[in-house]
A and B are shown apart, each in its own frame.
Chain A
Amino acid sequence: MATIATTAPHGTRHQHAIRTAKPGLFIPSFSLWQREIVRFYRQRARVIGVIASPLLFWVAFGAGFSHSFSSGNAGASGSAFGYFFPGSIVMIVLFTAIFSMMSLIQDRNEGFLLTVLASPVSRSAIVLGKVLGGATLAAIQGLIFLLFSPLAGVHPSFAGVLLAAVVVLLISFEITALGFTIAWPMDSTQAFHAIVNLILLPLWLLSGSLFPADKASGWLRAIMLANPLTYGVDALRNGLDPAAHTDHSLPINLAITLGFCLVTFATSWAVVNRRTSKPAA
């Protein structure tokens, strides 16, 4: 390194043209998405966690459930577990999706985020890349879980499985984007944990995963109807068990779930886009 020639002292000014090449949306968000995935599979413990937790769920709870419930809110399949099945997928997806955004806080604390923010990449690319990264991991977990649906006595058609897969993707996306919005202003993973715990459990309990909204009392029913996740669970039920009664029709369920994806994405975009006279990161 000591042999660096310094031949052209001050003689080469004005050779830098003004750069105007704007990075598009696709390449930067793909790059951020790819980073999430690469980081994931290089940390073996995370891979094991994502694959093993649905399996464990089936071994530990599946067997027990099928014996404990003989009747109740059974779907057309006749199995109580069939009723809980969509809610179980949602729970697994929910946790993985929202906690994947813990990486945002880590990125901030490690300084990685600072360089991303100081680059000319658009804010929507940052949100899209990060959220798609987390959503992909959550969706993979949900899809693994979905593979075991015959064990629950649920035998959906091929189209039903496809629909369920799409719904899993949408739920993964909206919940990850929600996690993004919560994680953005935070600098401690403990604080994130606390807030997420506060939100996540009610969100899931009142989503129709445990009991249907039409059996709930007035105010509880109102909350359940206002909970966007209710429509995701319902849509999943539409796919897995088309004959089962659901509170809303499939188009409404899909439309509201898609709408919530857009709302959470827009919220994430808005929090990232805020430029202030306070330190950004």
Chain B
Amino acid sequence: MPSTTLEPDAAAATPASHSDDPIVLSSLTHDYGTRIALDHLSFSVAPAQIFGLLGPNGSGKTTLFRILSTLMVPSGGLATIRGFNVATQPAQVRQQTGIVFQARSLDIKLTVEENLRHAGHLYGLSGKHLRARIADVLQRVALTDRAKDYVETLSGGMQRRVELAKGLIHSPAVLLLDEPTTGLDPGARLDLWQYLRMLRDQEGVTVLVTTHMMEEAEYCDRLAILSEGKLVALGSPEELKSTIGGDVVLFETETENAAQSLAARMAGRFEVAPTALGNTVRLEREHGHRFLTAVLDAFPGEVRGVSVSRPRLEDVFIQRTGHRFWTEATDASVKEKEGID
């Protein structure tokens, strides 16, 4: 059970907003000099929800994570966590929030228990209460028997679980995780998601998780998809996918030019709006399989391969942005932005 700490001097901390939603963004903007990293983001996260921030590298999700974790002050707009302004009330925000960073933050020369005790001290816990919390979080991540082991002797998956336990030591209402499954094998990845669901269901924790992996985004209750600092889609994975009418149909051609020419002629012949992505023509259409035969009959010999599928999250991204989730352009700009983003 969550043990919440409420001191008598609670009146000292006056929330900046009174929304019931634990995380609220209102026209949040951030720039690094001339480059705009976040462009007027507005959305809110409901309580006891797993909320995903999906976007390719350089989309602004790391910037947003830094702002929400109070490590950076946004250049414009407002972000609140449980009513407290992340820019002006960092101390209050930090007390409500558990944070799991992407990089390892454990001290590998200390034992699991020492790391957790240290983390507890930083959040004002001590003595008997802290010992009980350590036992509780260790049990939650199934590492009770490794409490006395040095962190450097644990596997990557176990270290990640200790990170999670560390983020939960003060029973936060909001948990922020930055790419939490990076470097984990599929089994450890599933375990981690299982823990997050348990936190949501049993403790009512609001979980915000950033990811660049489509498969993981599917696990979220609700998603915000970011591209180049803008919010391009917001909703549950099912809702987002259902905004795409029917099936996603792909035609693979020999060259990029052939794809563009085929797309143009297809648009003239049928009532569709295809897009050429590399050497592939992509469109959305009800009853994709029937449309497929019509196209193959109309343009014999031009198509090298076809596929018809139910819409995936990547299709939502493509539909909203007009380009693929991973493009050469993003890869190049990632290298250039890595220093600051």
Chain A residue nearest to B96 (CB atoms) is A19
Choose one: A14, A42, A276; the contact of B72 (CB below 8 Å): A276
Residue B231, interface by CB 8 Å: no
The interface residues of chain B lying within 8 Å CB-to-CB of A38 are 109-110, 114
Closest Cβ of chain A: how far from B12's Cβ, in Å?
7
Residue B64, interface by CB 8 Å: no
Q: Judge whether B197 and A6 touch: CB under 8 Å.
A: yes
Interface residues of A in 82-141 (CB under 8 A from B): 110-112, 114-121
Q: Judge whether B94 and A119 touch: CB under 8 Å.
A: yes
Closest Cβ of chain B: how far from A249's Cβ, in Å?
42
Chain B residue nearest to A122 (CB atoms) is B91
Q: Judge whether A119 and B101 touch: CB under 8 Å.
A: no
Closest Cβ of chain B: how far from A60's Cβ, in Å?
31
In the bound complex, CA of A42 to CA of B107 (Å): 12
Q: Judge whether B103 and A114 touch: CB under 8 Å.
A: yes
Q: Judge whether B2 and A16 touch: CB under 8 Å.
A: yes
Q: Judge whether A22 and B72 touch: CB under 8 Å.
A: no
Interface residues of B in 1-28 (CB under 8 A from A): 2, 4-7, 9-10, 12-13, 15
The interface residues of chain A lying within 8 Å CB-to-CB of B106 are 112
In the bound complex, CA of A94 to CA of B241 (Å): 64
Q: Judge whether A118 and B71 touch: CB under 8 Å.
A: yes
Q: Judge whether A43 and B96 touch: CB under 8 Å.
A: no
The interface residues of chain B lying within 8 Å CB-to-CB of A15 are 2, 4, 203-204
In the bound complex, CA of A20 to CA of B94 (Å): 10
Choose one: A20, A22, A39, A279; the contact of B66 (CB below 8 Å): A279
- Of A27, A117, A119, which is in contact with the most chain B CB atoms at under 10 Å from its CB? A119
Residue A67, interface by CB 8 Å: no
Closest Cβ of chain B: how far from A29's Cβ, in Å?
9
Q: Judge whether A16 and B4 touch: CB under 8 Å.
A: yes
The interface residues of chain B lying within 8 Å CB-to-CB of A2 are 194
Q: Known: A22-B124, A31-B121, A121-B122. Contact between A9 and B9, CB under 8 A?
A: no
In the bound complex, CA of A126 to CA of B117 (Å): 16
In the bound complex, CA of A2 to CA of B30 (Å): 41
Residue A48, interface by CB 8 Å: no
Residue B119, interface by CB 8 Å: yes
Q: How many of chain A's residues touch chain B, expressed as a range? A: 35 or more
In the bound complex, CA of A18 to CA of B194 (Å): 26
Residue B337, interface by CB 8 Å: no
Residue A21, interface by CB 8 Å: yes
Say what secondary structure dominates the interface of chain B: loop
Q: Judge whether A18 and B13 touch: CB under 8 Å.
A: yes
Closest Cβ of chain A: how far from B255's Cβ, in Å?
43
Q: Known: A22-B91, A114-B103. Contact between A13 and B47, CB under 8 A?
A: yes
Residue B239, interface by CB 8 Å: no
In the bound complex, CA of A30 to CA of B118 (Å): 10
Q: Known: A20-B6, A111-B105, A112-B107. Contact between A12 and B204, CB under 8 A?
A: yes
Q: Judge whether A20 and B201 touch: CB under 8 Å.
A: no
Q: Judge whether A39 and B109 touch: CB under 8 Å.
A: yes
Contact with B along A21-56 (1 / 0, CB 8 A): 111100110111011001100110000000000000
Residue B257, interface by CB 8 Å: no
In the bound complex, CA of A32 to CA of B117 (Å): 11
In the bound complex, CA of A9 to CA of B203 (Å): 10
Residue A7, interface by CB 8 Å: yes
Q: Judge whether A119 and B4 touch: CB under 8 Å.
A: no
Residue A255, interface by CB 8 Å: no
Q: Judge whether B101 and A111 touch: CB under 8 Å.
A: yes
Closest Cβ of chain A: how far from B189's Cβ, in Å?
12
Closest Cβ of chain B: how far from A87's Cβ, in Å?
34
Chain B residue nearest to A12 (CB atoms) is B204
Q: Judge whether A1 and B95 touch: CB under 8 Å.
A: no
Residue A217, interface by CB 8 Å: no
Closest Cβ of chain B: how far from A77's Cβ, in Å?
44
Q: Judge whether A10 and B103 touch: CB under 8 Å.
A: no
Choose one: B6, B94, B109, B194; the contact of A120 (CB below 8 Å): B94
Closest Cβ of chain B: how far from A109's Cβ, in Å?
9
Residue A280, interface by CB 8 Å: yes
Q: Judge whether B5 and A21 touch: CB under 8 Å.
A: yes
Residue B180, interface by CB 8 Å: no
7 pairs of A and B residues whose beta carbons are closest in the complex: A23-B124, A16-B173, A31-B121, A111-B103, A280-B71, A120-B94, A119-B122
Q: A1-B194, A31-B121 are in contact. List 16 more A-B contacts (CB 8 A).
A: A4-B194, A10-B200, A15-B204, A18-B15, A20-B13, A21-B7, A21-B124, A23-B122, A28-B124, A38-B109, A38-B114, A39-B109, A112-B105, A117-B71, A118-B97, A275-B90
Q: What would 8 A/B residue contacts be, using CB atoms closer than 8 Å? A: A1-B191, A4-B198, A12-B201, A19-B172, A114-B103, A118-B101, A120-B91, A279-B71
Interface residues of B (CB under 8 A from A): 2, 4-7, 9-10, 12-13, 15, 30, 32, 47-48, 66, 69-75, 82-83, 90-92, 94-97, 99, 101, 103-107, 109-110, 114, 117-119, 121-124, 126, 142, 166, 170-173, 191, 194-195, 197-198, 200-205, 340
